[in-house]
Structure formats: C-alpha cells, structure tokens
Amino acid sequence: MRLYIDSADVKQIAYLNEYYPIAGVTTNPSIIVKENRPYIELIEDIREVIGEEKELFVQAIGDTAEEMMEEAKFITHQLSGNVMVKIPVTEEGIKAIKLLTANNIPTCATTIYTASQAFLAALAGAKYVAPYVNRIDNLTGNGVKVVSEIARIFTTNQLPTKILAASFKNVQQVHDVCLAGAYAITVGTDLIEKFITFPSTSTDVSVFKEQWQKVYGSDKTTLFNS
C-alpha cells in the first residue's frame, strides 16, 4: 500500500512529506488552478519538496491523443525525477495511453467510474488507474465495489496495472478500498492528518507522561534526562 498527497499546496505537501510516509503527489487541473500560480513553477516547487524519487502526477488537458502526447513529452522534459502523466479515459485518452506506453512514458488513467474503463486502460498500458471512489458514490454507485471489481479483474487477467484509488470524503472510504485491493490511495491533506487522530491516543500519552513525572520528577520530559 502506498500513500500519495492529492494537493498542489506546497506548504502542506512539505509538512506532510516531513511527517508521513508519502510516496508522491497527485495533481489535477482543478487542484493546480486553486493555487493561482504559474503551473510550471508550482510543480517544480512540488518536485523540489518531495525529491526526485517520489512520483509526481500531472494531468494532460488536450482533447486529442496527439495533443496529450505532446503535453506528456513537454511535462516529462520540463520536470526532473519520477513523473507520471495522468490521462482521462476518453476514447482519445485510451489512444494516448497506447501511444505514450509505446514511447516509454508512464501514465495514470484517471476519471475512472467503472471497472470496464479500468480494464481498457490497463490493456492500453497504463501503469496506474485512478477510480473516483466518492464521486462514484455521489452518482448512487458504490466506489468501494468498483475498486474491488477492478482488483479482481486485474488479478484474474494477470495485469500489472496498479489501482491508485482517489476521491475520498472520509477515512472509512479509505479503509474500505485498502481492504478491497487498492495498491495505493491519494488523499487530500486534511484527510491524511485524520488517519492518526483518535481522542484516546492523546489521552493515553498524557497519562503516561504524568505517571512518569510523578516518579522521576516534573522536569523529566524525556528518557535521557530521567
């Protein structure tokens, strides 16, 4: 299981990258425009924060496969390090994934709502597929079930494509897709911090500290000065 940050907020990315086991960062056009900055400068700053080895996902916005191909070449030329190009699973997008795979440019098939979309993207050569869990739920579907179906199809057909589940509104959805067979998850900055938030944890830590200091002294705040 791998954890990605779904954001283009450089400060938040830097903070989470310092404290959490982050595998990389995913962006999309909506996330990037929220920052209201020149996008090349922005994604270069993200690269600097996370380093060269971690994956950075950037989405193409062209309408045709050829436009997406040129965008992918431009992005991979502009950015150093481990770059993944996100391609929507339109008909032109599937063609683009085939072309990019033939040119050894790794892709993530995005905007996935059905297992059949993921299956076609995998056959076209996508390294990742990104099913939109909460958006599927909002359309009266079952996002976790779709992830489970994709995982079963990939396993049955021995496809190497990985599931990068996206679009979450709560920790429970994340928990469920991990059990359903997702290889990775990409999550907003606010939700990542909720993974370890539980009232009893803070309470227990305070009690442990209080008991320790009653025996060894109130100034004894660490093991090495006790």
Q: Can 86 be counted among the known catalytic residues? A: yes
Cα(53)–Cα(224) distance, integer angstroms: 35
Terminal CA-CA length for the chain: 39
Residues 6+ apart with CB under 8 A from 65: 92, 93, 95, 96, 99
Are 168 and 147 contacting, i.e. CB atoms less than 8 angstroms apart? no
Catalytic residue among 11, 73, 86, 194: 86
Residue 129 identity (one-letter amino acid): V
Residue 222 identity (one-letter amino acid): T
pLDDT at residue 210 in the model: 92
Task: Reduce the DSSP state of residue 183 to 3 states and report it.
Answer: coil
Instruction: Tell me the H-state helices in the chain.
Output: 10-19, 29-34, 39-50, 65-78, 91-102, 115-124, 133-138, 143-156, 171-180, 189-194, 199-216
pLDDT in tens, the chain (226 residues): 999 999 999 999 999 999 999 999 999 999 999 999 999 999 999 999 999 999 999 999 999 999 999 999 999 999 999 999 999 999 999 999 999 999 999 999 999 999 999 999 999 999 999 999 999 999 989 999 999 999 999 999 999 999 999 999 999 999 999 999 999 999 999 999 999 988 899 999 999 999 999 999 988 888 888 6
The DSSP output letter for 187 is E
Phi, psi of 156 (to 5 degrees): -60, -40
Domain ranges within the chain, ordered by starting residue: 2-195, 198-226
CATH code of the domain made up of 2-195:
3.20.20.70
CB neighbourhood size of 195 (10 A): 13
Cα(37)–Cα(48) distance, integer angstroms: 16
Pairing mode of beta strands 184-187, 2-6: parallel
Q: Smallest Cα–Cα separation from 192: which of 31, 7, 28?
A: 7
Are 100 and 42 contacting, i.e. CB atoms less than 8 angstroms apart? no
What angle, 0 to 180 degrees and rounded to 10, lies between the N-to-C axes of helices 10-19 and 39-50?
Answer: 10
Q: What is the pTM of this model?
A: 0.94
What are 122's two structure tokens? 């995998």
Are 109 and 97 contacting, i.e. CB atoms less than 8 angstroms apart? yes
